[in-house]
Amino acid sequence: MPATIGDVARLAGVGRGTVSRVLNDRPNVDPATRERVQRAIAELDFVPSLTARRLSLGRTNTIMVVGPFLTRPSAVERLSGIQAALSATSLDAVSTSVETTERRVAVIRDASRPERADGLILIHIAPSTIELERILAAGIPCVLVDAHHRRLPRVVVDDVDGGQLAARHLLDLGHKRIGFIGEVPLAEFGFSSTRLRLRGVVRVLRSAGIAIPDEHVIRGEHNREGARLSALALLAGERPPTAIIAASDTEAMGVLEAARIRGLRVPEDLSVIGYDDIDVADFIGLTTIRQPLFRTGTRAVERLLGIIAGDDPRPLREVLPVELVVRSTTGPAPV
Amino acid sequence: MPATIGDVARLAGVGRGTVSRVLNDRPNVDPATRERVQRAIAELDFVPSLTARRLSLGRTNTIMVVGPFLTRPSAVERLSGIQAALSATSLDAVSTSVETTERRVAVIRDASRPERADGLILIHIAPSTIELERILAAGIPCVLVDAHHRRLPRVVVDDVDGGQLAARHLLDLGHKRIGFIGEVPLAEFGFSSTRLRLRGVVRVLRSAGIAIPDEHVIRGEHNREGARLSALALLAGERPPTAIIAASDTEAMGVLEAARIRGLRVPEDLSVIGYDDIDVADFIGLTTIRQPLFRTGTRAVERLLGIIAGDDPRPLREVLPVELVVRSTTGPAPV
DNA sequence: TTGTAGGCGTTATCAT
DNA sequence: ATGATAACGCCTACAA
């Protein structure tokens, strides 16, 4: 039904090639001809078919974004950055949230074909050996966000430092018994960030001569309910921690709920630190580690576009800094 | 680089047509041949090119989702519903958040072409006359979510009832001075829901013999900061309201911040009601009107797919119910 | 500078 | 049941 390049050519009285040249701002077109063609284009309200162009060019004009739980506030922020960076281009972003292993395998398998996408952004997913081979074999540009892999370009935040900042802050406040609540590391999804944050925490505590007992590190589901349960378990112990570091703001909220349930005042009886600095963190006065979520998205796109354009992807690893934001859920350790 | 249907045909020693038939589970192909073709497909790890299929079929296998501020928690929930409903299909969803009029016009113009998308979901956008004509002329199936238009199929919630529920609740608690805080109705985006909610509020109050003075209806930016400012203005008046109805939970949070700033206790001095029942509403104990955000998304997809399949789109208007969720930000009116 | 023809990978039509 | 062939709409050589 819509006009095709042939219709335009006919109306303008030129060949299709000429129309194509005008369309793509190519040289070697007589100004008068160009003018005539443009009028015809306007006349017919012609817009070239993306599909036909894709097939002809062998490019898809699409980038695929894949990751688990893309509706979490932190992921939404990253996606938002991706969209923002992409809106200046003519590329489509197709994002898929994968919650199960089967979906992940199927979706990545589908996404890592050059006829499917020009580029791939993996959020929170470190490709398996098979997936990596596929990606490399297909030669499809791929950037990881908040995930680690030696062989692939990636935009990460300094999670170890995040853990360190949190621990040092609590140490400065006099806390000695510190707990950590994160999610269970799903085998299929390499939730490395939680591990790295914990590593940072442990490192700082150790250098202060403090060990963090195993029973003070609890992992549950990555959501408020899961964290609440974990925190309740933690606080029910013999000598419960006086401060808890959560792997995300959402989980920190679960910890706050647990404190409320146990009748603990925050921060007088219990200090709580989150991670991410999502929008509501400010509202509830949550002390947290701010990470540049939006920027990880824009940077991933910038790097991906660069790689597609042929830039050297190195250095592979780009680390964005994190920052401690002190609000009102942390205070001096109780005596 | 990847295998094509021709490679498969050659390897299996058949024609391309036969491979295509096998691919699409068509009858009239000898079991033995089918077997042979399938082996060749597996052998070459062949996956048909989506692009080529699109061009040949004249379908895009894509649905476009357009709306303003798609990163707001409520919109994210809707998108999440859309994605969920779509994940069972092989359709791609390309969603675009439009924040300015130019972008809106350009994006909808682009999206409402059949060669661009098989269907269109407009969130929070009622098409202008021009846009409507375009959509109808193009014959592209389109479903509205949380937006109203006589001529188009739409999935909405009962916003008037939402306003009524909120007002009645406050009335029952003895409130007589009730304020309303919403966002400014941007001309280009028909934020009708806020208007409808207010209408419900006014209706109930009027039937109780209460008028809501103009200065108790304030509109600002649709976010926490905007609502906070609006609420501060509202509370600074001569006889400030004892209860405030916000057009969204996010705005309700701004109202709560304002109360905090003014040293007002909630709900003893001021009652606050939100709208949406987003995830954090529960955490902060916000009384609110719950609307089925996720379901509006899934329903929109279901209806769109139906329409694409040729179903009668009528009845055009599908209304989903809302429900009052009483938590701890509302209480008896102060004496 | 400009028109023509071939190709991108698939599906559909039409013989056989 | 199956193979050849013509679309689908664009881009890019190549020829003129």
* Nearest nucleotide over every DNA/RNA strand to the A115 CA, judged by C1': C9
pLDDT higher for B249 or A221? B249
- The closest CB to that of A116, out of B50, B71, B110, belongs to B50
- The closest CB to that of B55, out of A51, A114, A138, belongs to A51
Q: Quote the pLDDT of residue B335.
A: 85
- The closest CB to that of A71, out of B47, B76, B280, belongs to B76
Name chain A contacts of B60, Cβ cutoff 8 Å.
51
The residue-averaged pLDDT of A226-246 equals 95
- Whether the per-residue pLDDT at A7 is higher than 70: the answer is yes
Percent of all residues in chain B with a pLDDT value above 90, rounded to a whole number: 88
Q: Quote the pLDDT of residue A221.
A: 85
- Whether the per-residue pLDDT at A25 is higher than 60: the answer is yes
Model pLDDT for residues A273-322, shown as the tens digit of each residue: 999 999 999 999 999 999 999 999 999 999 999 999 999 998 999 999 99
Element containing residue A1 per DSSP (H, E)? none
Name chain B contacts of A87, Cβ cutoff 8 Å.
96, 103
The residue-averaged pLDDT of B271-293 equals 97
Most B CBs within 10 A among A102, A225, A261, A283, hence the mutation to make, goes to: A283
Q: Which amino acid is at B301?
A: V
Q: What angle do CA A121, A122, A127 make, to 5 degrees?
A: 130
Joined tokens for residue A194:
């939680």
- Whether the per-residue pLDDT at A67 is higher than 70: the answer is yes
Name chain A contacts of B294, Cβ cutoff 8 Å.
none
- Whether the per-residue pLDDT at A187 is higher than 80: the answer is no
Task: Please state, rounded to an integer, the average pLDDT across all residues of chain A.
Answer: 94
Strand B287-290 versus strand B323-325 pairing type? antiparallel
A48 touches strand D (CB under 7 A): yes
- Whether the per-residue pLDDT at B150 is higher than 70: the answer is yes
What is the Cα A126 distance to its own chain's centre? 12
Residues 6 or more apart whose Cβ sits within 8 Å of residue A262: A232, A235
Question: Of A95, A292, A283, whose CA–CA distance to B278 is shortest?
Answer: A283
Protein-to-nucleotide distance from the CA of A76 to the C1' of D2, whole angstroms = 51
Name chain B contacts of A1, Cβ cutoff 8 Å.
114, 138-139
Tell whether B320 lies on the interface with A, counting CB pairs under 8 A: no
d(CA A49, CA B55): 9
Instruction: Please state the three-class secondary structure of chain B as a single string.
Output: CCCCHHHHHHHHCCCHHHHHHHHCCCCCCCHHHHHHHHHHHHHHCCCCCHHHHHHHHCCCCEEEEEECCCCCHHHHHHHHHHHHHHHCCCCEEEEEECCCHHHHHHHHHHHCCCCCCCEEEEECCCCCHHHHHHHHHHCCCEEEECCCCCCCCEEEECHHHHHHHHHHHHHHCCCCCEEEEEECCCCCCCCHHHHHHHHHHHHHHHHCCCCCCHHHEEEECCCHHHHHHHHHHHHCCCCCCCEEEECCHHHHHHHHHHHHHHCCCCCCCCEEEEEECCHHHHHCCCEEEECCHHHHHHHHHHHHHHHHCCCCCCCCEEEECCEEECCCCCCCCCC
Joined tokens for residue A310:
């042929």
For B:186-215, CB contacts with A below 8 A are none
d(CA A25, CA A5): 15
- The closest CB to that of A50, out of B93, B115, B284, belongs to B115
SS3 label, residue A328: coil
Q: Quote the pLDDT of residue B188.
A: 59
Protein-to-nucleotide distance from the CA of A23 to the C1' of C5, whole angstroms = 20
CB contact burial B306-330 (16+ within 10 A = b; e otherwise): ebeeeeeeeeeebeeebebbebebb
- Whether the per-residue pLDDT at B133 is higher than 90: the answer is yes
Residue of B nearest to A103 (CA): B87
Q: Quote the pLDDT of residue B183.
A: 85
Name chain A contacts of B257, Cβ cutoff 8 Å.
283
Strand D: which nucleotides have any atom within 7 A of a protein Cβ? 1-14
Task: Name the residue with the least CA to C1' distance from nucleotide C6.
Answer: A56
Residue of A nearest to B93 (CA): A94
The residue-averaged pLDDT of A28-35 equals 90
Residues with CB under 7 A from strand C: A 13-18, 21, 27-30, 32-34, 55-56, 58, 115; B 4-6, 16-17, 20, 23-24, 46-49, 52-53, 55-57
Question: Of A283, A291, A292, whose CA–CA distance to A327 is shortest?
Answer: A283
Backbone phi, then psi, for A280, in 5-degree steps? Answer: -75, -15
Q: Quote the pLDDT of residue A302.
A: 97
Contact B71 A76 (CB under 8 A): yes
Task: Name the residue with the least CA to C1' distance from nucleotide D12.
Answer: A17
Which range has the worst mean pLDDT, A25-34, A260-269, B76-85, B197-206? A25-34
Protein-to-nucleotide distance from the CA of A17 to the C1' of D12, whole angstroms = 9
Name chain B contacts of A47, Cβ cutoff 8 Å.
110, 113, 115
Q: What angle do CA B186, B188, B191 make, to 5 degrees?
A: 50
Residue of B nearest to A249 (CA): B280
Joined tokens for residue A191:
């939730």
Tell whether B71 lies on the interface with A, counting CB pairs under 8 A: yes
Which range has the worst mean pLDDT, A53-62, A186-195, B94-103, B124-133? A186-195
Most B CBs within 10 A among A62, A66, A71, hence the mutation to make, goes to: A71
Q: Quote the pLDDT of residue B27.
A: 84
pTM (predicted TM-score) = 0.92
Are B266 and B333 spatial neighbours (Cβ–Cβ below 8 Å)?
no
For B:107-166, CB contacts with A below 8 A are 110, 113-116, 138-139
Task: Name the residue with the least CA to C1' distance from nucleotide C8.
Answer: A56
Joined tokens for residue B237:
């008046």
SS3 label, residue A170: helix
- Whether the per-residue pLDDT at A22 is higher than 90: the answer is yes
Question: Of B223, B196, B270, whose CA–CA distance to B71 is shortest?
Answer: B223
pLDDT higher for A114 or A179? A179
Residue of B nearest to A58 (CA): B51
Name chain A contacts of B110, Cβ cutoff 8 Å.
47
Most B CBs within 10 A among A5, A62, A83, A115, hence the mutation to make, goes to: A115
